[in-house]
Amino acid sequence: MAEDLRSRTPTVVSLINSQRQFLTAAVTHMLDHGVRQFVDLGSGLPTAGHIHHIAHRRSATTVYVDNDTSTVAQAEIVLDGNPHATVLRGDLTQPEVIVASIDRDTSIDRDQPVGLFLVGTLDVIPALTRPRPLLAAYREAFPNQFHLAITLLAAEPSGNKEIEAAARIFGDLGSTVIARPRRTLQTWLSKTRPRGTVLDTGFTLPHRPENATAAAITLDFAVVRYP
């Protein structure tokens, strides 16, 4: 599948790789500003380059959340014996259930600063029709110096063919991928109340060839601090 993705959807693959680079920049920025607790929603398998690898020297606590039973089982093996990282099974579109699980099964203190990550996650949830209440629910659950790191694939109509090709490939594995219209992320964040402060992490997208497809698909990203 990996080779098929690279040959048929090179821009999408490049931007998915950029998501991980953004994650590294976001974690580092939060660590530098005193955050020592992280929650990664839709984390996938937490292997090299995930949050607990980046933050381990600061004795940070990381909670990974995924809704796939097999992924969670494998993650439990990967994280076995790690006192600073754990994994929960849960559907990120049910914030009240996720938060209850965090309170019950982890050492996260919601009265202390928390960094929440939605990196690459919302691109595989096409049915998410009410994002602002979802974001607001998580913000309200972590009232003290809540930091949100979030990404979205964004496309102009001319970029849809590559996105559709990627969707077909992911679809063969029972998953999907979508790109939303440009400035969708900015709209979501600007209409979530109270508004947060968008922070400069120093992250920029790596150079990509100046061609029509590359211009038609991009990665929107932000680190936002509340309040």
- At 134, the amino acid letter reads L
Residue 205 DSSP code: P
**Residue 193, token pair as written in the block:** 């109340």
Q: pLDDT (tens digit, 9 = 90+) per residue, 128-140?
A: 878 889 999 999 9
Q: pLDDT (tens digit, 9 = 90+) per residue, 172-186?
A: 445 577 778 878 898
Q: What is the pLDDT of residue 209?
A: 45
Q: What is the pLDDT of residue 2?
A: 44
The structure's pTM equals: 0.87
Q: Between 152 and 167, whose confidence is greater?
A: 152
Q: pLDDT (tens digit, 9 = 90+) per residue, 212-226?
A: 455 577 889 999 999
Q: What is the pLDDT of residue 175?
A: 59
Q: pLDDT (tens digit, 9 = 90+) per residue, 45-80?
A: 998 889 999 998 888 999 999 999 999 999 999 999
Q: How many domains does one find in the chain?
A: 1
> For residue 73, what is the domain's CATH number?
3.40.50.150
Contact 153, 208 (CB under 8 A): no
Q: pLDDT (tens digit, 9 = 90+) per residue, 110-127?
A: 999 999 999 989 988 877
Which of 86-95, 98-107, 110-119, 145-154 bottoms out in mean pLDDT, i.e. has the lowest?
A: 145-154
Output phi, psi for 168, to 5 deg. -65, -40
Q: pLDDT (tens digit, 9 = 90+) per residue, 8-32?
A: 566 767 777 889 999 999 999 999 9
Domain of 94?
2-226
Of 50-59, 82-91, 193-202, the range with the highest mean pLDDT is 82-91
3-state secondary structure 4-26: HHHHHCHHHHHHHHHHHHHHHHH
Strands (E), the chain: 37-41, 61-66, 85-89, 114-118, 146-155, 197-199, 217-226
Which helix (H) or strand (E) covers residue 45, if one does? none
Q: What is the pLDDT of residue 25?
A: 95
